[in-house]
Structure 1
């Protein structure tokens, strides 16, 4: 179904097309949301398929490609977190968030959320002491890092472990990720006995500690779950809103959960919503991990169609069950409880956000409730790696898809006014060029100077109808003592600490600060992890390592004379000149 501008509104399937269309085009009995869809329909396009299964798969592909507004949309199309072993003599193990497995190395996953991955990685680092650093850091380390000191890495970067022993640890970790921790425990026991017979008691103690940690892991898994590869879906509805919770269980271990709040514009039933969500979750994703069982808390009339679609698309059909007992019943109950709690929390948050917006309207004496707020903040470390943040709130709360960061360049170090000016100019000149929506209120985290700077930028750009609001912290910087400046520094407003409108301002200000400081730390840490030697032609990983080993630090290399540099193996006079030119400031 298309509107007058040929924009896709809705995709559906039907065995009896006439009956399905007649249900939309009738004189009475339509829900308000369905009536809103029908009012916008200008054209209908029909595609005939050979079977219901083919129609279901085509429907999900079209929804994935066009994301029509009146279809059930999970609105969580982010890439999935995987555990990745790099293709290296000493593989790095870490988290990668991708849409599908790609590139060299070994992949384990996908996992339901990043928290489950981090928990698993922490366990593997603790037991097997596998490296976490990037190849650029690994290639020119001259001494072990802190991870070695706290027994989270075996220091392969400086040769403290042989490639053979490290490869053995990697294989053991891979077996644990595959659910075979019992097998690894048995192998560890054999190695411990062999090391003891050879009087290598230190190595035997290491194997003993690993066995104890693996046994603890096995006990935890057995108590928590049982066995099986299962995905559990549960739906809950309240006040016209839906929440679908999904639990992912692999090899009897609960890896984590995901929660979806579908935008159900046609007010479909719980059964139809859950059917559409399951179809979209599995049939639109690449490299989707298919479990052996699929548990649900609501019976589905289209269950045979979904099972046939699984067989057609993946060549395997998970067992779909609704009435289950024992451990599986507890999983379904847990997923249902999660869905109910998530929905209640979201509804309470939405209601609270509406109250806050209404309170802000009254506090600022506005004619109408604002719909969009934007807030800016600046973060840096003594002028290093300056980053500006822009966060966006609407009446549903943070709108994270509209968040933006700006790497600030070309200003004097520590010039917050210059950084704010650059960020505002880049943000709103782009919005003007793209004809994108402007905020109703622009919140500036700062006092009078920042507010005046923002006013100057908006005036220079010719932007009107945007309300400026400066937020100055109190003398003790305690929350609740802020002073608000509306439009000008002469119009100061002080709200009581319990004001919902003030809580909204504090929320968006704190969020902009969090977003700015996170971006600043990422930029600063990236710059500090890179070596100036990496940018010098002819100085590869081995020569960098030789230089750092010889002089002890990058500063030592920069202070070395021409003759001293040439004493390092592989450094000739021409290369020494290039190093001096790159590392020493020009006069």
Structure 2
């Protein structure tokens, strides 16, 4: 669309508030809001940057929607940006990948980690560190015996399951604990998740001190590590939150920008307590509006509208700097939201904490940008890693791990049993064919990755590329060889400095794929023939008791000597033999 085309289209537009879209065929390139549609669209006939000119040149049409008020235009813009994800808008990406903790709506509520909570459940989070959440949930279960089983397993039981024997559940299913007492334990769990750290930290501290007093130093160290995680779970900033005053809900935003990527960290304080923190990723290309300020103000205004358009607004927003969007300011004022940019004091400490959280994430995203540049890719945000593991062809398995923005996305891990053969190349080919077929056939619910990383060298990469070509899945693939940490591409080998951030990213993906493959191989191997079969002094009955008590060979492997001796028929010598053998 040329300058004359923009002017001609603008001349036919009303002088009313509304939303406009620059379109290229069926694709929306940009969505904007305007107090006066005619004036705003006409301004694009003389763009002041090469980027805006490219957007206008690509467009072949402009669509509009008139609204009654400027606020309606602002909210409609947010919805259209979310729906169409236009290339030239600052746009908030989906935040559903963050883990949450829910207590189900049941006579005996279940605690679980989820990314898609039930509407009727009591939900806490979202959280950014899934490993930390898992540790805390396990500590809550061990301390308060809250069940983790499905409602199907809960119903119709006549005796408690293994979780009861392991001290993870008080078995309300068979009324080993009454529902009234169980409800009291649920209340304690809720108090902890609402910010009362001592509800869980105090029992753990007593357990640690008792273990040390009994000279069970291994157990004391284990509880100490868990206690540190629990103490850190609700994060820093508690002292600062106490200054909030009469405002019930306060959100604190911090922004970090790296190239065309931005991270907004959001802290939430309710009733004087810091209840959660989360980070959101935005793509922040150069502004497509002549009169809009780039950088942090543009990211703040886009985030505030797109995030809160479908959520309840807080009583106050603490920002690192002004967003400079008059329509957004008018909307927040009309909704009664106080907006402050603190320069000192306790509120400034909260803003600093939000900025620290944002910068921590955007640094990881910089690794992805460096990797994309080094490999000449459009992006490297989403990486899938692959490895195979077997024992001379036996119990052959493959792993498929996923990293997003430099962090492991464990919900998107997959694994597969492979045909038993002592050929790493054929095993890798079979693994990639399986993944490619699932993608091409639409049977995989994950988005296509930006890059595939193969654990190995030229041979493994060639086998993987053969599989991709045979199936017709067009995704870039490289390999990382362990010995010299060489990055192998289809046409060359790259040797990057050992301290290169993008090399460290590939190493993390490669190492995690290897760990996940080996772990699954051990599980499959144990399913076929447990290593207990070869332990002297462990017969069929003893093996049955061990597996019945611990649930799996993996749990036996992790058990202490004291735990092993607690099983009938296991003496000190046999326990030491088992520990040594496993």
Aligned equivalent of 2:80: 62
Contact preservation (8 Å) 1:53, 1:308 = yes
List runs of 5+ in structure 2 lacking aligned partners.
1-20, 204-229, 288-292, 528-543, 549-582
Which of 265, 272, 296 is residue 319 of structure 2 equivalent to?
A: 296
Which of 44, 49, 58 is residue 62 of structure 2 equivalent to?
A: 44
**Cα separation, 2, equivalents of 1:399 and 1:552:** 36
**Cα separation, 2, equivalents of 1:399 and 1:164:** 40
Which of 168, 177, 180 is residue 164 of structure 1 equivalent to?
A: 180
- Write the mapping of 1:31-110 to structure 2, written as runs, cut at 5 A: 31-79=49-97, 81-98=99-116, 101-102=118-119, 104=120, 106-110=121-125
> How far did 1:108 drift?
2.5
TM-score by length of 2: 0.62
Taking structure 1 as reference, are residues 374 and 261 closer, same or farther at Cα in structure 2, changes over 3 Å only? closer
Taking structure 1 as reference, are residues 413 and 131 closer, same or farther at Cα in structure 2, changes over 3 Å only? farther
Q: Does 1:412 align with 2:432?
A: no
Deviations 1:221-255 (A, max 9, x none): 86463265321112345667644322222333334
TM-score by length of 1: 0.61
Aligned equivalent of 1:6: 26
Aligned equivalent of 1:264: 284
> How far did 1:342 drift?
4.6
> How far did 1:275 drift?
1.0
- Write the mapping of 1:121-160 to structure 2, written as runs, cut at 5 A: 121=137, 124-125=140-141, 127-135=143-151, 138=154, 142=159, 145=162, 149=166, 153-156=169-172, 159-160=175-176
Taking structure 1 as reference, are residues 292 and 178 closer, same or farther at Cα in structure 2, changes over 3 Å only? farther
Contact preservation (8 Å) 1:417, 1:453 = yes
Which of 97, 114, 128 is residue 113 of structure 1 equivalent to?
A: 128
**Cα separation, 2, equivalents of 1:298 and 1:496:** 42
List runs of 5+ in structure 1 lacking aligned partners.
189-213, 358-367, 475-479, 530-550, 556-587
Deviations 1:134-155 (A, max 9, x none): 4455565956646765x65434
RMSD: 5.4
> How far did 1:279 drift?
0.6
Taking structure 1 as reference, are residues 516 and 249 closer, same or farther at Cα in structure 2, changes over 3 Å only? farther
Aligned equivalent of 1:251: 271
Aligned equivalent of 1:275: 301
Deviations 1:429-473 (A, max 9, x none): 677889xx999997643468646745764786699x999876654
Q: Does 1:336 align with 2:355?
A: yes
Give 3-state SS (helix, strand or coil) of 1:246's partner: strand
> How far did 1:125 drift?
3.6
Deviations 1:83-107 (A, max 9, x none): 3222444321122212x652x4x31
Taking structure 1 as reference, are residues 53 and 145 closer, same or farther at Cα in structure 2, changes over 3 Å only? same
The aligned length equals 466
Aligned equivalent of 1:201: none
Q: Does 1:319 align with 2:334?
A: no
Contact preservation (8 Å) 1:90, 1:167 = yes
**Cα separation, 2, equivalents of 1:443 and 1:46:** 44
- Write the mapping of 1:228-243 to structure 2, written as runs, cut at 5 A: 228-237=248-257, 242-243=262-263
Give 3-state SS (helix, strand or coil) of 2:115's partner: strand
Taking structure 1 as reference, are residues 70 and 86 closer, same or farther at Cα in structure 2, changes over 3 Å only? same
**Cα separation, 1, equivalents of 2:237 and 2:505:** 39
Deviations 1:271-297 (A, max 9, x none): 2331111111111x4xx3543322112
Contact preservation (8 Å) 1:405, 1:516 = no
Determine which structure has more spread, i.e. the larger CA radius of gyration: 1
Contact preservation (8 Å) 2:496, 2:503 = no
Contact preservation (8 Å) 1:370, 1:441 = no
Taking structure 1 as reference, are residues 447 and 65 closer, same or farther at Cα in structure 2, changes over 3 Å only? closer
Taking structure 1 as reference, are residues 39 and 528 closer, same or farther at Cα in structure 2, changes over 3 Å only? farther
**Cα separation, 2, equivalents of 1:40 and 1:47:** 21
Which of 507, 511, 514 is residue 512 of structure 2 equivalent to?
A: 514
Q: Which moved more, 1:162-171 or 1:383-392?
A: 383-392
**Cα separation, 2, equivalents of 1:81 and 1:438:** 21
Q: Which moved more, 1:40-49 or 1:322-331?
A: 322-331
Taking structure 1 as reference, are residues 161 and 302 closer, same or farther at Cα in structure 2, changes over 3 Å only? same
Taking structure 1 as reference, are residues 243 and 79 closer, same or farther at Cα in structure 2, changes over 3 Å only? closer
Taking structure 1 as reference, are residues 171 and 383 closer, same or farther at Cα in structure 2, changes over 3 Å only? farther
**Cα separation, 1, equivalents of 2:102 and 2:450:** 44
Taking structure 1 as reference, are residues 146 and 124 closer, same or farther at Cα in structure 2, changes over 3 Å only? closer
> How far did 1:325 drift?
5.9
